[in-house]
Amino acid sequence: MGASVALRSRHGLLLCLLQLVFIGLFAALAVYHPDADETRTVYHPDADETRTGHGDHETTSDGAAHSRIYPMFQDVHVMIFIGFGFLMTFLKRYGLSSVSVNFLVAGLVLEWAILVNGLFHLHHGKIQVDANSLLGADFTAAAVLISFGVVLGKTSPSQLIVMALLEVPIFVINEVIGRKYLMVTDMGDSMFVHAFGAYFGLAVSFVLYRKDSDSDNAGSSSNSDLFSMIGTLFLWCFWPSFNSALAVGDDQHRAVINTYLSLAASCVTTFAVSALFHRQGKFTMEHVQNATLAGGVAIGTAADMAVQPVGALIVGTIAGAISVVGFEKITPALAKHCRVHDTCGVHNLHGLPGVLAGVVGAVLAALATEEQYHSSLYVLFPAMAPASNSSSWEQLPPEWGVAAGSGRSAAAQGGMQMLALVISLIIGVLGGALTGLIMRLKCWDQLQTEDLFSDRRFFVVHCEDEPEVPRSGHTEEPDTRL
């Protein structure tokens, strides 16, 4: 009996061990950023650095960066815990698990991501923690939660803990390659978070594929769909902050405007295309809960670029349409022909729109000119700044304060943007496949058919509503289980 209880509690023991390890690592490596601890460090101008990604820091002497970032951080934080959590509650018998395990995985990733991100940006051997670190951890958590959506209801807490631990360093490595070495821009993280997270999760699902994924519990009810809409609306309202949190000045202003318009367009288009697909012109809640958000993903890479308002509307319209088509045509095909069961339709909300975002960003980068952006061009694309020994460098207005770059052409920048997208997809698929193989090991809990998409295996359930019509549209006999 004792051994059986220990086996069933392995996720609890694993979490206890991990928390002790995190405490030890934070004690050894983590310190406050100087802006958060005036007693420790005095600001030195030569310590200033240029932001290239979520792991880097703005060095200021008065905490101005914190004041600017914290409101955006709050919005992103709400998206991670309420938006993502409630979006996944559409399963009629898996609501407790969806919102609670989302909470667990996100909390675990926040600690782990601060450490892993920090190891790539050490300061005198220490990880400096500030508001940027917290925001970067939230973005990392978003990638893991996107992958989580693919395998929702088919994995145990132990397996999800393993997935989170492995995905975070793979995610960080991919982002460092793109931002530091390829020097690409992806302000809304559509390539590094959405596309990467989606295809990582799809690869995990492929490796973990099981024929019994079409469980009777894999359906929704009116109540569960209503709870899921809470997540949708939180994500929809706060997405402009997600895409603009790390932008500055007019770049941030553009990012908010572009995201706002793209989301509005995807919302309207989703309802239109959803009605067209239904024989009686009815709206499908699966589309409404997900495809309405596709515009936020699709505009992400180019959020701070000069898309123009009409361009943002076009991107959002295309994203909403392809997302609905994905739910209607591509998701069933993946399950039938490719052994990939995508519980939340992550491929349609994050995968396809994420790829679209990468392509849009590459095209706009290839068309970018100094006449169009002025000094912002070299904030968006640092590698396009003239080399310090070139005549172009000498012609730049001193008040622009531009740091010397490599003189990369617009066409070359567009090519690098496409390369970063391709690398993100490759690393996501390979990393997900390797992670899936590790998650298949017998030492982790493996769910039985009756445990799929059910809260009862890992949560104390006091009552349960009678089942209603599942998403597949067929009726089912009432569940008489106690």
Which domains can be identified in the chain, with CATH numbers? Answer: 8-33+70-387+403-445 (1.10.3430.10)
Of 340, 306, 93, 101, the C-alpha closest to 217 is 93
For residue 77, pLDDT over 70 is answered with yes
Express each pLDDT in 214-270 by its tens digit. 777 888 899 999 999 999 999 999 999 999 999 988 899 999 999 999 999 999 999
Tokens of 157: 């807490």
Sign of CA dihedral 183, 188, 190, 192: positive
Query: Rounded to whole angstroms, how far apart are CA atoms 121 and 163?
Result: 24
Express each pLDDT in 369-386 by its tens digit. 999 998 889 989 999 998
What average pLDDT does the segment 100-115 reach? Answer: 97
Q: How would residue 10 be classed by pLDDT, with cut points 50, 70 and 90?
A: confident
Of 379, 375, 47, the C-alpha closest to 183 is 379
> Is 8 or 431 the better-scoring residue by pLDDT?
431
Tokens of 402: 């531009």
Q: Which residue is it, tokens 């061009």? A: 377
Contact (Cβ atoms closer than 8 angstroms) between residue 190 and residue 301: yes
Phi, psi at 47, each rounded to 5°: -90, -5
Least confident among 53-67, 357-371, 390-404, 435-449:
53-67
Of 164, 161, 146, 131, the C-alpha closest to 57 is 131
Q: Which residue is it, tokens 């949190």? A: 245
Tokens of 397: 């207005």
What average pLDDT does the segment 193-212 reach? Answer: 95
Residue spans of alpha helices (H) in 48-195:
64-78, 84-87, 95-119, 131-150, 157-176
Q: Where are the beta strands (DSSP E) in 342-463?
A: none
| pLDDT score at 464 | 54
Contact (Cβ atoms closer than 8 angstroms) between residue 358 and residue 191: yes
Of 171, 175, 155, the C-alpha closest to 441 is 155
Q: Is residue 150 exposed (0-12), middle (13-18) or buried (19+ Cβ within 10 Å)?
A: buried
Tokens of 33: 């950023």
Q: How would residue 62 be classed by pLDDT, with cut points 50, 70 and 90?
A: very low
Query: Rounded to whole angstroms, how far apart are CA atoms 161 and 361?
Result: 33
Write b or e for each residue in 387-411: b if 16 or more Cβ atoms lie within 10 A of its Cβ, otherwise e.
Answer: eeeeeeeeebeeeeebeebebbebe
Phi, psi at 25, each rounded to 5°: -70, -40
Of 370, 428, 362, the C-alpha closest to 400 is 370
Write b or e for each residue in 210-230: b if 16 or more Cβ atoms lie within 10 A of its Cβ, otherwise e.
Answer: eeebebbbbbbbeebbebbbb
For residue 157, pLDDT over 50 is answered with yes
Q: How many CB atoms lie within 10 A of CB 338?
A: 13
Which residues are 128's β-sheet partners? Answer: 31
